[in-house]
Amino acid sequence: AACSSGVGLPGMNLTSPITVIYQTVEDGLGDTIKPRLMEAGADEERVINIVEDTDPLSLSDERIEQAILETGARVMILDPMQGYIREDIDMNRANEIRGVLKKLSAVADRTGCAIILVGHLNKAKGNSSQYRGLGSIDFRAAARSVLLVGRLKNQPYVRVVVHDKSSLAPEGKSMAFNLGNEEGFRWLEGYSEITAEELLNGYTEGTKTAKAEELILDMLDGGKEVYADDIFKAAKNKNISNRTVNEAKKNIKNIKSKKVGKGWVWYIPE
């Protein structure tokens, strides 16, 4: 919806609207997809669908490149990708999936169209994020960028988007959005530090601040006086931002600061 209307996503500047090809095997186009697009302000004329009523589409289908070239689409979404695997292909076998993805990647290269594959997670909790996708790990290996979307454990209407893999550029900050209640869809702030592993393991808002508080108290234990810069560095190693450290310091309340040399020292009075 954002791309078709020329608005773009947060931090994304579009010079003009983009045509998008959207394929789904899970939701009805008329009763589900179209109402959602309308609610999100999409330009419906720029959201295209390849008709597959009698001839199901697959990842290696020649109609994909043909549709991209005919419409000038810059984005194509296949949702979910497992629904576009041919019956004679075992999605759990790397040697069978590799050839399919190589062909699809070549289409993206030739056309300049970004191809987005939406996938589901398996139920193997506790595993690293790279092993949580259904099917062969080659799905992840072939992708240049992987985003993980999950909901917060204590806030079911908040979804967080984590950049879990980036081969061509630095990983982006995590982003969050509201979905599913009377407020509808809207982007949220304040979730940029959440990692993929935290999200998969049931992240609860406040976890980072609690970790920061624990770190500060540990470093200042026994009346130690520690430079704030050293605390910030230790927190950074645990993927905790300076902002969260400062919030944790406020929560602890009895921490004092004093200027020593060129820096500030934190301590807890006896």
* CB-based contact 74:114 (threshold 8 Å): yes
9: confidence class by pLDDT, cuts 50, 70, 90? confident
Q: Could you read off the pLDDT of 113-128 as tens digits, one per residue?
A: 999 999 888 766 656 6
DSSP 241: -
Range with the poorest average pLDDT among 53-67, 195-209, 249-263: 195-209
d(CA 198, CA 208) in angstroms, rounded, equals 10
Q: What is the mean pLDDT of residues 63-70?
A: 96
pTM of the model: 0.72
Q: Cα-flanking dihedrals φ and ψ of residue 101, to 5°?
A: -70, -35
User: Which residues, including other chains, have CB under 8 Å from residue 45's CB and lie 6 or more apart?
Assistant: none
The residues, any chain, with a CB within 8 Å of residue 31's CB and separated by 6 or more, are: none
Q: How far apart (Å, rounded) are the C-alpha atoms in residues 134 and 92?
A: 8
Average model confidence (pLDDT) for the chain?
Answer: 87
Token couple for 153: 């454990």
Sheet holding 145-152, edge to edge: 145-152, 155-166, 175-178, 186-188
Q: Is the pLDDT of residue 29 over 80?
A: yes
Closest among 34, 88, 32 to 56, alpha carbons compared: 88
CA atoms within 13 A of residue 75's CA, in its CB half-sphere: 18
Give the per-residue pLDDT at 1.
Answer: 92
* pLDDT tens column, 141-191: 888 999 999 888 778 888 999 998 999 999 888 899 998 888 888 888 877
What's residue 132's pLDDT?
67
Could you tell me the two tokens for 164? 């879990």
For residue 162, what is the enclosing H or E element?
A: strand 155-166
Residue 208 has pLDDT above 80, yes or no: no
Q: How many CB atoms lie within 10 A of CB 92?
A: 12
Instruction: Indicate whether 81 pLDDT > 80.
Output: yes
Cβ atoms of 266 and 225 within 8 Å: the answer is: yes
**Tokens (6 digits) for 139:** 């799905």
Helices (H), 112-227: 138-142, 196-200, 207-219
- What was the pLDDT predicted at 131? 62
CB atoms within 10 A of CB 236: 12
- DSSP letter assigned to residue 89: S
Q: Is the peptide bond before 80 cis (omega within 30 degrees of 0)?
A: yes
Per-residue tokens: 72: 């000038």
What's phi and psi for 203, nearest 5 deg? -60, 135
Tell me what pLDDT residue 108 has. 95
pLDDT at residue number 65: 96
